[in-house]
């Protein structure tokens, strides 16, 4: 590195886990690396990865089965055992059930695994983006118990988020045990996510699409094969325990009409997209309200539980996952007024459950709202146009896909999952029209999806991390080289040269008397000064430029390179806030560019 630098600190969040460490990330223990190494000596690496995918599929499948059975256990305890004991309260016998459940969940999450709070899917995305795809093992246990308890006690959340996080944690733990490099560890996490979705919804294709489109944000072919294997194995296990049938039990196939009435699916797509936007905004607005309330966390859980219980007293259909009510909407067994009431209530009660500290997914509540919205629109449309040859259930099912496609910004996943969850191929064309339109509308209204907004709100720009431009996909803090050689600022040039003579380093970091990093000098600079008899006794600090140019650890490599070009320097002082934590040079950027591996 040369002795010039740049003072401009990029404004961005300063939360990177690895930036500022003075040593490279710890490598997995040698024995664990040996497991993968020995296997790749026995068979080609692609086959070894498929073997891993099979094992993760098994774990994800049995994990999904166990999680669903755990939900039933808690449902039996709360509604089969505790609720009858409260029968003297009349209709209010359900009031305290969500309160008890939410309070217990809030304590479990608070003290055992804070990342188990909320949706689950954003936490997996964050682990891939900023934590090297590493997920703590305790997440499997904590998320399983907390989410099953939340759903079993009547909390209005879904089971897909927890299952994704549980399956992903299995994949991460397995990959860490083997000592896999990050690019493979990321793949194992995605395999676990796809396996969880495939088993619980009997939707292997949907699991693959969810893992690639939502979790990885990439349809790269090298990811696809392993995720397919995991999803197939997991779905096969799910079928053994749950049966080989569609998730919903309405009277399929539906009548979707001919092309002359396809205008209605354009209307559905537009309205579903708007509702997807409303879902995102209301969910996070309610979370903000709970965050601003300055009371103990368990008090928030009590308050939220009471609101959920009050709604359940009059409309028990909003409690839990609610797929039974979705089946009623698909079968056209709900009145228009009830569809509209349940649509609004499910939106609010889901937001309150999560805002109050609950643990569970937002995918199932989105499907629920979509079915209510579509069912209501179907009844209105058939009253205005009584000769439409369309099943009301078809509009309900298709709008389900639209709301999810919009809120999650995942139209491909929505199309495939709803096709598999209904088992009705006749809806595929309207499904595609509605899902794509809904995703377009919501994407126009909101830059972030219901998953990525949670990450952006805490300073993680997931879109930038997925940038196909590798220079914009890596932060400066992640490209810092370890501090291999240090010179003290008060050292003489002669002493510095003697130290350079003991190693092969081409540059050294310079620290002052207090140990603060102040810059960098190159071997060539020291040699040049040494050649001047009058400079041999000068302090190394005199070789540093008068202006030390800075860059924030959360700037991208592209930002750093741009600063170097503008100021005509070859290195920058990397800062966390105002504190220098390292040096980034042009050679570090080249090294990071060559070694970064994208999904």
482 to 25, 493, 548, 577: CA distances (angstroms): 9, 23, 20, 20
Distance CA 239, CA 225 (A): 21
Distance CA 157, CA 283 (A): 12
pLDDT of residue 519 exceeding 70, the answer is yes
3-state helix, strand, coil in the chain (%, to 5): 65, 5, 30
Pairwise pLDDT comparison (32 vs 249), residue with the higher score: 249
Q: Of 7-11, 286-290, 384-388, where does the model show the most confidence?
A: 286-290
Burial bucket for residue 335 (CB in 10 Å: 0-12, 13-18, 19+):
exposed
DSSP result, 463-498: HHHT-SSHHHHSBGGGSPPP---EEETTSBHHHHHH
Pairwise pLDDT comparison (433 vs 217), residue with the higher score: 433
DSSP result, 47-75: HHHHHHHHHHHHHHHHHHHHHHHHHHHHH
How far, in whole angstroms, is CA 318 from its chain's centroid? 26
Q: Which residues contact residue 42 at a Cβ distance below 8 angstroms, ignoring those fewer than 6 apart?
A: none
- Per-residue pLDDT, averaged over 213-233, amounts to 84
Residue 539 dihedral angles phi and psi, to the nearest 5°: -75, 150
| CB contact at 8 A, 391 and 430 | no
**pLDDT at position 466:** 62
| CB contact at 8 A, 361 and 160 | yes
522 three-state secondary structure: strand
- Per-residue pLDDT, averaged over 543-550, amounts to 82
**pLDDT at position 468:** 54
- What are 163's two structure tokens? 């299952």
- Per-residue pLDDT, averaged over 58-75, amounts to 93
pLDDT of residue 194 exceeding 50, the answer is yes
30-242 and 475-595 in the same fold: no
Question: H-type helices in 213-262, by residue range?
Answer: 221-242
pLDDT band, residue 338 (cuts 50/70/90): very high
Distance CA 47, CA 293 (A): 53
CATH architecture, domain defined by 30-242:
Orthogonal Bundle (1.10)
534 three-state secondary structure: helix
311 to 95, 146, 287, 308, 431: CA distances (angstroms): 9, 22, 18, 5, 32
Vertex 463 angle, CA 458 and 466, to 5°: 120
Mean pLDDT of the chain, nearest integer: 84
For the beta carbon of residue 318, count every other beta carbon within 10 angstroms.
25
- Cross-strand partners of 579: 576
- What are 402's two structure tokens? 């639209």
Which of 407, 406, 402, 400 is closest to 451 using CA atoms?
407
Q: What is the total residue count of the chain? A: 599
Listed range (9-23, 269-283, 388-402, 581-595) with the worst mean pLDDT:
9-23
Which of 321, 387, 384, 386 is closest to 349 using CA atoms?
321
- What are 331's two structure tokens? 């079968």
The CATH number of the domain covering residues in 259-294+314-465: 1.10.3080.10
301 three-state secondary structure: helix
- Per-residue pLDDT, averaged over 382-411, amounts to 91
For 309-320, the pLDDT digits (tens) are 999 999 999 999
pTM above 0.85? no
In the chain, domain spans:
30-242, 259-294+314-465, 475-595
pLDDT of residue 30 exceeding 60, the answer is no
| CB contact at 8 A, 370 and 230 | no
Distance CA 433, CA 141 (A): 40
For 463-474, the pLDDT digits (tens) are 666 655 566 667
432 three-state secondary structure: helix
pLDDT of residue 189 exceeding 80, the answer is yes
CATH class of the domain at 475-595: alpha beta
pLDDT of residue 163 exceeding 50, the answer is yes
How far, in whole angstroms, is CA 561 from its chain's centroid? 29
Q: Which residues contact residue 255 at a Cβ distance below 8 angstroms, ignoring those fewer than 6 apart?
A: 389, 390, 391, 394, 426
Which of 277, 582, 571 is closest to 405 using CA atoms?
277
pLDDT band, residue 13 (cuts 50/70/90): very low
| CB contact at 8 A, 493 and 543 | yes
**pLDDT at position 221:** 64
- What are 335's two structure tokens? 């009145």
Which of 372, 281, 362 is closest to 332 using CA atoms?
372
For 434-485, the pLDDT digits (tens) are 999 999 999 999 989 999 898 888 877 776 666 555 666 677 887 887 777 8
- What are 546's two structure tokens? 């008068």
For 67-115, the pLDDT digits (tens) are 999 999 999 999 999 999 988 888 888 999 999 999 999 999 888 888 7
Structure-derived torsion over alpha carbons of residues 347, 351, 353, 356, reported in degrees to the nearest 10: -160
């Amino acid at each position: 590195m040369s002795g010039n630098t740049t003072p401009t600190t990029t404004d961005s969040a300063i939360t990177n886990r690895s930036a500022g460490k003075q040593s490279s990330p710890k490598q997995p223990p040698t024995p664990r690396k040996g497991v993968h190494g020995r296997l790749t000596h026995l068979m080609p690496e692609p086959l070894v990865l498929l073997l891993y995918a099979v094992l993760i599929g098994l774990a994800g499948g049995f994990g999904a089965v166990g999680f669903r059975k755990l939900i039933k256990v808690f449902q039996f305890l709360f509604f089969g055992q505790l609720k009858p004991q409260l029968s003297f309260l009349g209709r209010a016998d359900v009031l305290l059930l969500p309160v008890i459940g939410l309070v217990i969940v809030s304590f479990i999450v608070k003290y055992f695994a804070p990342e188990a709070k909320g949706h689950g899917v954003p936490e997996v995305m964050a682990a891939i983006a900023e934590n090297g795809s590493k997920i703590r093992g305790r997440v499997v246990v904590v998320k399983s118990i907390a989410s099953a308890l939340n759903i079993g006690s009547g909390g209005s959340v879904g089971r897909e988020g927890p299952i994704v996080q549980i399956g992903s944690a299995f994949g991460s733990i397995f990959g860490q045990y083997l000592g896999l490099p990050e690019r493979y560890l990321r793949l194992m996490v995605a395999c676990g996510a796809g396996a969880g979705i495939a088993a619980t919804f009997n939707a292997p294709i949907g699991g693959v699409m969810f893992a690639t489109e939502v979790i990885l944000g990439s349809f790269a072919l090298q990811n696809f094969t392993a995720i397919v294997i995991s999803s197939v194995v997991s779905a096969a296990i799910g079928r053994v325990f749950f049966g080989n049938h569609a998730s919903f039990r309405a009277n399929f196939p539906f009548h979707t009409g001919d092309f002359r009435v396809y205008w209605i699916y354009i209307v559905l797509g537009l309205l579903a997209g708007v509702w997807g936007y409303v879902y995102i905004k209301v969910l996070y607005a309610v979370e903000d309200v709970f965050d601003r309330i300055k009371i103990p966390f368990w008090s928030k859980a009590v308050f939220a539980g009471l609101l959920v219980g009050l709604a359940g007293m009059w409309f028990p259909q909003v409690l839990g996952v609610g797929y039974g009510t979705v089946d009623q909407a698909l079968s056209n067994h709900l009145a228009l007024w009830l569809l509209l009431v349940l649509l609004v209530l499910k939106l609010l009660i889901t937001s309150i459950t999560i805002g109050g500290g609950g643990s569970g997914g937002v995918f199932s509540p989105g499907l629920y709202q979509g079915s209510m919205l579509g069912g209501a629109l179907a009844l209105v449309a058939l009253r205005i146009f009584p000769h439409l040859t369309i099943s009301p259930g078809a509009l309900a099912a298709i709008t389900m896909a639209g709301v999810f496609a919009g809120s999650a910004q995942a139209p491909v996943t929505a199309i495939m999952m709803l096709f598999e969850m209904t088992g009705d191929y006749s809806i595929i064309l309207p499904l595609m029209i509605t899902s794509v339109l809904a995703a377009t509308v919501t994407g126009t209204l909101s830059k972030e999806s219901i998953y990525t907004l949670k990450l952006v709100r805490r300073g993680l720009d997931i879109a930038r991390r997925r940038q196909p431009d590798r220079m914009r996909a890596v932060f400066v803090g992640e490209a810092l080289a370890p501090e291999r050689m240090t010179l003290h600022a008060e050292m003489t040039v002669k002493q510095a040269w003697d130290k350079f003579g003991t190693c092969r380093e081409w540059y050294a970091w310079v620290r002052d008397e207090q140990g603060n990093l102040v810059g960098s000098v190159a071997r060539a600079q020291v040699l040049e000064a040494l050649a001047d008899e009058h400079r041999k006794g000068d302090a190394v600090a005199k070789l540093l430029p008068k202006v030390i140019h800075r860059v924030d650890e959360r700037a991208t490599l592209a930002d750093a390179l741009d600063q170097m070009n503008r100021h005509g320097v070859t290195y920058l002082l990397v800062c966390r806030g105002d504190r220098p934590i390292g040096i980034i040079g042009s050679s570090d950027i080249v090294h990071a560019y060559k070694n970064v591996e994208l999904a």
